[in-house]
Each structure stands twice: as structure tokens, then as C-alpha cells.
Amino acid sequence: MVLNLKQNQSPLYIKVNANDNVAIIVNDRGLPAGTVFPCGLMLEEYVPQGHKVTLTDLKQGAAIVRYGEVIGYADRQINRGCWLQETLVRMPAPPVLEDLPIANRVPGPQPSLEGYTFEGYRNEDGSAGTKNILGITTSVQCVVGVLDYAVKRIKEDLLPKYPNVDDVVPLHHQYGCGVAINAPDAVIPIRTIQNLAKHPNFGGEVMAVGLGCEKLLPARIVPGGEPANIISLQDQQGFTNMIQSIMEMAEERLIKLNSRTRVTCPVSDLVIGLQCGGSDAFSGVTANPAVGYAADLLVRAGATVLFSEVTEVRDAIHLLTPRAINEEVGHSLIHEMKWYDSYLQRGEADRSANPSPGNKKGGLSNVVEKSLGSVAKSGTSPISGVLGPGEKADQKGLLFAATPASDFVCGTLQLAAGMNVQVFTTGRGTPYGLAAAPVIKVSTRHSLSEQWGDLIDVNAGRIATGEASIEEIGWEIFRLIVDVASGRKQTWADHWGLHNDLCLFNPSPVT
């Protein structure tokens, strides 16, 4: 990344790669026509913050280069110093999956990062929790109203008696009945629900509430299928007994969870999810590279790190398959890309449905540019494995967990993979959070951190102005992950109790 001026001087632009013929404006309110940079560039028109200015004259059809990669082609002649609006960018074809290099540039091993620990809750299966939560899963949407009523009562009447328990979290979902449960793709929502119940923050004490006539039987979703962990509402004598039965079963588990205490665990027990939402043109040069640096530190410490969002990886897949640790992992990456291409085609959609209007307002022209910035979260480590949607992580290192780009669906699938802390980058801003695991929010811009000072946990906008380096913010994120995982610090989302609903990915038919 090249800053054209020193800290505290203006105007500022960022040129990422020496071969780029566009740069993004740093200044909060953008810059007016007539602004002259020390390099001699003069703006021919107003350019908003985060939006691209042309550094050279571009003929019609000329390649537009950012991150050293072609992000599109000029739709008409565009002169030097002009605002490159997204309507002027013709999107290139995606990388051909059959022609990708695989495992031919695997990064060499980095020095191990020894001695880093956090204070977590040790589970019988060897995993470690970052919270101590009573999780109550449902087998069907029909029971949600009853469970919500019961959870309110549990929090009011029971939870205060068990101060070592952080929360009671209902695991709602829209699946369970009225679905083609034997369809091939039904494996995705079913294994997601099953693996959510195994989340390390629930300490193995998950209970299930079912109705009694649903297709997804409760015994399929609680670990071991134990009847002692299941309540079927159709077996209860009225609403009052339903609530009483749920509360009695919950208290049995609250007693057990309350006896748990934090113990020292190696950082290698962490499963960290990486995600972005409300992205802008700064995402790929500030927050995401800093998170990528933190990801490399975590991998060096032996942790499991998940990056996701197929549609925001697809156009940068040619940069990832060479980093696959072997050909099997490389082909697994390609398989997930092909599956999602087919999924979009069945829905008569394509990758142009991404980015969102807000992403474009933040300076992103298309999904190609967005993808190139998104994959910066993955850092530089070898990609050691691939998870299908809803699969649970069972190895260390950097893993690609295939998910849609939707914040809520991606978060749900990363939880199913065992994520016990999530790091979430945002440029436009979002109050997104998860009840089951803490979410650390990283802003891409100074102005967002100032606007949302009580929602943003880390300000990576300091990178854009030269006040901090990618490495410095990366270490800040790493240390905050350890503190949050240990319960020493609380994220703003947890402070305010901002927790989004779980959203399953269900590509199979609804009947």
C-alpha cells in the first residue's frame, strides 16, 4: 500500500499496488474538483471518500487495475483525475475454475508463536469455550413462541441464582417441518443444527425442545440423542406444564454449568471466524489486511482460523488455490466454487447480485474489487483445509469454511464450525452480533469509528492516515481476541446485548 502524503497532511489518496491505475480518496468528505496532489495529479471533478480516482487516461475498453489485478474495463474514455464511478466499470469474466494453479506457491512455515494463552472453559471433548452458556435448541419453528416465553422466565427467575453462567441462548431456526428432509442438499441445514448444539460455549449441556410431529426429530440434533435432553410439547399437559418442564430441565443444566470455572488454555484451542459486512473500498487496505495479519499470528500460535463467503472469494480464487497446502485442498476449494456457481444458476442469479447498494456507496465498483479486498482477511498462511456449509472444524490452521456472503448466514455456519470468537470488519457500519460467541467489530475508516464509538472495538482507519501500520493493528486485534476470549474485555455488541437471529442456509426444497 502506498500513501501519497505523510500523516496529517491533506489531500490523501491510497494506491495499493505499483501497477494500479486508480487510487481511492482518503479524506472524510471527499475532495473537490481542482484539488492538486504533490505528484501533480489534479482532480477534474469531486470524488467522494473511498471512491476511485483515475491516475492515468483510460481509453474505452482499457483494463482498470486495483490491487495489481484487473477489476474491470472502462466503459468509455475516462481522463486522468476523474471519478471512476461504478457505472463506468464493465465487469470482467470470473477466473476459469478448470485452469487454476493448485498448490504451486504454498507459503513456507512461519516461526511458531509460543506461550500465548487465554482463560477459557475446558470441555470434556477437549474443546474450550470462551463463554459459559446454556444453549436450548429447537427441532422445529413451531415451538419458538413457547421457548421464548420459557427463556424469558429462565433469565428472570433462575439465571440470577447461577452467577457463573453468562447467558441462556435459544437456538432458533426456520427448519424442521414442511421441508424435503431427504433431499440431497438437506444435509446442509441438518448438520448445521446438529453442530450448533455441539458448540464449545455450551459446555455439552444443550437441551432440545421439539413439538412431536416434525420431520426433524429432536433425537437427531442433541448430542447422543439422549431422551433426558429432550422435551416434546405434544407430550405436555397444557402451556403451564410446558414452561415448567423446560425450566426444570434448564435448572438441572444451570447447576452443572455454574460449577465451571475458567482455566488457562493455549491459544491453539481458539477457533476464530473472520467475516466482513457493510464493506467499502477501505476494507481491502485497512481492516481486512490487519485482520489477515492477526490471522497469521493465530495460525502461528496453532489456532484454527476460518475465512468464508464464497461469492466474495470466487473472483479472487486464483490467488487462493496456489496457497492450498496440497492438491486435495485445492480441488476442495474449486469444488465449493463450482457448487455455488451451480446454486446461483439454479436461482437464475449470478455474481453481479453482489455487492449491495451500500457497498457501492462506499466506493466498491463490483464483486471483483470486493473479492480482492475480502480475501485479504485470510492473511498469507497456507490454506490447510476446506469445510462444506455447516461442517465442524476438526483441524488447526487456516481453513476455508464455505458459506454465503450474508452476514447472518455466514455467522450461523461459522458457529456450527465451532467458532468461539468472531472478528468482523465493516466500512459502512453494522450493529451485527451473535449471542453464542463474542464478535469483535473492526472499522475500516476513522469516521466510522468516531461516529460509532460505542459500537466499534478496533479502529483500523488509522492505517489509511499513516497513524498506525497493518502490523500494529494486527497485533492489537490479536491481543484483543485473547482478552475477549478470556472474559477480561467485553465487545460492544455484548455490552449492549446486540445479537442477531441464527439464519440457516437451506438450498433444499421447502414443501
pLDDT per position as a tens digit, 385-421:
999 999 999 999 999 999 999 999 999 999 999 999 9
- The ranges assigned to domains in the chain are 1-93, 133-258, 280-496
The fraction of the chain above a pLDDT of 90, given in percent, is 95
Q: Which runs of consecutive H residues, i.e. helices, occur in 375-459?
A: 407-416, 446-451
Q: Is the predicted pLDDT of residue 470 greater than 50, yes or no?
A: yes
The fraction of the chain above a pLDDT of 70, given in percent, is 98
What is the reported pLDDT for 9? 60
Q: In what order do the strands lie in the sheet with 458-459?
A: 383-387, 397-401, 304-307, 271-276, 421-426, 439-443, 458-459
What is the reported pLDDT for 4? 43
- Domain 1-93: which CATH class? mainly beta
Do 158 and 250 touch, CB atoms closer than 8 A? yes
Do 430 and 415 touch, CB atoms closer than 8 A? no
Average pLDDT over residues 254-276: 98
Q: Is the predicted pLDDT of residue 2 greater than 80, yes or no?
A: no
1-93 matches 133-258 in fold: no
Do 387 and 395 touch, CB atoms closer than 8 A? no
First to last CA, the chain: 51
| Phi, psi angle pair for 453, to nearest 5° | -60, -20
Give residue 32's pLDDT band: very low, low, confident or very high (50, 70, 90).
Answer: very high
| 402: number of Cβ within 10 Å | 26
C-alpha cell at 502: 441464527
Give residue 6's pLDDT band: very low, low, confident or very high (50, 70, 90).
Answer: very low
Q: Is the predicted pLDDT of residue 52 greater than 80, yes or no?
A: yes
Q: Is the predicted pLDDT of residue 121 greater than 50, yes or no?
A: yes
Q: Among 214, 302, 232, 300, which residue's Cα sits nearest to residue 266?
A: 302
Average pLDDT over residues 73-78: 97
State pLDDT tens for residues 144-198. 999 999 999 999 999 999 999 999 999 999 999 999 999 999 999 999 999 999 9
Average pLDDT over residues 283-287: 97
Q: Tell me which residue has cell 449492549.
A: 496
State pLDDT tens for residues 198-250. 999 999 999 999 999 999 999 999 988 889 999 999 999 999 999 999 999 99
Q: Among 7, 160, 94, which residue's Cα sits nearest to residue 351?
A: 94
What is the reported pLDDT for 5? 39
Q: Is the predicted pLDDT of residue 8 greater than 70, yes or no?
A: no
Do 169 and 133 touch, CB atoms closer than 8 A? yes
What is the reported pLDDT for 353? 86
Average pLDDT over residues 458-481: 97
What is the reported pLDDT for 3? 43
Give residue 109's pLDDT band: very low, low, confident or very high (50, 70, 90).
Answer: confident
**Across the chain, what does the average pLDDT equal?**
96
State pLDDT tens for residues 321-374. 999 999 999 999 999 999 999 999 999 998 888 899 999 999 999 999 999 999
> Does 3.40.50 match the CATH number of domain 133-258?
yes
> DSSP letters of 208-275?
EEE-SS-SS-GGGTSGGG-GGGEEEGGGSSHHHHHHHHHHHHHHHHHHHHHT---EEEEGGG-EEEEE
State pLDDT tens for residues 347-360. 999 888 889 999 99
Length of the chain: 511
What is the reported pLDDT for 1? 45
